[in-house]
């Protein structure tokens, strides 16, 4: 009988200790995640993505100017749907760039 009571007491103490330990770990993890800033490597990576997007947008404009400078190229681009395709790509790139900038700015506000 004494062994059962002793084992039950040890079991309950172990349960309480484990539950308290897990709760403490989850609180520490939550506090760490909310107070963390963006790592410098991540900032640089995002800035590089933004620069590549800007470069891509500039390349589209350069190509558009080249195509518009030649009547035959312009006609070919219209027939193939190149202009419409480039507008769609530009919109996607501008949206992605805005998302990246907003993401970076969200860490500046904290």
Q: Following DSSP, what letter does each residue of 49-84 receive, concatenated?
A: HHHHHHHHHHHHHHHHHHHHT-HHHHHHHHHHTHHH
63 and 10 in a common domain: no
Domain count, the chain: 2
* Six-digit token string for 17: 């200790």
63 and 19 in a common domain: no
23 and 47 in a common domain: no
Q: Which residue segment(s) compose the domain that 4 sits in?
A: 1-36
pLDDT at 77: 94
Torsion of CA 88, 90, 95, 100, to 10 degrees: 140
76 and 43 in a common domain: yes
74 and 109 in a common domain: yes
32 and 62 in a common domain: no
User: Is 23's pLDDT higher than 80?
Assistant: no
C-alpha–C-alpha distance, residues 95 and 107, integer Å:
19
C-alpha–C-alpha distance, residues 35 and 110, integer Å:
9
User: Is 9's pLDDT higher than 70?
Assistant: no
Mean pLDDT of the chain: 81
- Say whether pTM exceeds 0.75: no
51 and 31 in a common domain: no
């Amino acid at each position: 009988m004494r062994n059962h009571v002793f084992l039950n007491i040890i079991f309950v103490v172990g349960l309480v200790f484990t539950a308290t330990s897990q709760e403490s770990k989850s609180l520490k993890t939550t506090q760490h995640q909310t107070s963390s800033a963006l790592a410098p490597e991540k900032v640089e990576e995002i800035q590089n993505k933004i620069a590549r997007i800007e470069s891509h947008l500039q390349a589209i404009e350069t190509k558009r100017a080249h195509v518009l400078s030649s009547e035959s190229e312009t006609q070919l681009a219209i027939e193939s749907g190149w202009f419409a395709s480039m507008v769609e790509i530009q919109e996607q790139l501008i949206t992605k760039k805005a998302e990246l900038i907003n993401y970076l700015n969200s860490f500046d506000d904290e």
